């Protein structure tokens, strides 16, 4: 999670919402890193999870991320939760809960929907306060303007 937090800090420096992610291989090796980069790339799919999953898939030479773990500082949205299911990730680990757009237990629970063919394990709340802090600071600074 600390590596994902490093990515989140980089996102904030470039003006994006500070969310970071890493994809770990079955042996714990970092296969992909990502941070929100929508402002930087003008790409609506530029979420940390998507960026990290793309990098991991490229490193593996396969879209199937079986055996891998996605670690992300904020609960994934519907797009990212869907991508986690489609990529066959074994596990999704996240820090801060997103009550407004979370799709891994809060607002929706896409990854554990029994109608889908793949359901990754979910671990919630890892370094939750530490993951929430950059987000709180980021949005507080926007409200002051």
Tell whether 131 is in a known binding site. Answer: no
Instruction: Please say if 49 is a catalytic residue.
Output: yes
Tell whether 77 is in a known binding site. Answer: yes
**Contact yes or no for 11/5 (Cβ under 8 A):** no
Q: What contacts 99, CB < 8 A, 6 or more positions away?
A: 106, 107
Catalytic residue among 7, 39, 40, 49: 49
Q: What are phi and psi of 104, to 5 degrees?
A: -130, 50
**Contact yes or no for 19/136 (Cβ under 8 A):** no
CB-CB neighbours of 105 under 10 Å: 19
The annotation places the binding site for Zn(2+) at 47, 77, 80
Give catalytic residue positions.
49
């Amino acid at each position: 999670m600390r590596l994902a937090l490093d990515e989140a800090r980089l996102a904030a420096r470039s003006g994006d919402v500070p969310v970071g992610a890493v994809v770990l291989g079955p042996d714990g090796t970092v296969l992909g890193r990502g941070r929100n980069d929508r402002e930087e790339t003008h790409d609506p799919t530029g979420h940390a999870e998507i960026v990290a999953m793309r990098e991991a898939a490229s490193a593996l030479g396969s879209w199937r991320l079986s055996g891998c773990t996605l670690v992300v500082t904020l609960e994934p949205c519907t797009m990212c939760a869907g991508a986690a299911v489609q990529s066959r990730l074994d596990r999704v680990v996240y820090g801060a809960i997103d009550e407004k757009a979370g799709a891994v237990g809060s607002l929706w629970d896409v990854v554990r929907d029994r109608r889908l063919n793949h359901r990754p394990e979910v671990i919630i709340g890892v370094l939750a306060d530490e993951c929430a802090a950059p987000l709180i600071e980021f949005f507080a600074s926007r409200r002051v303007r």
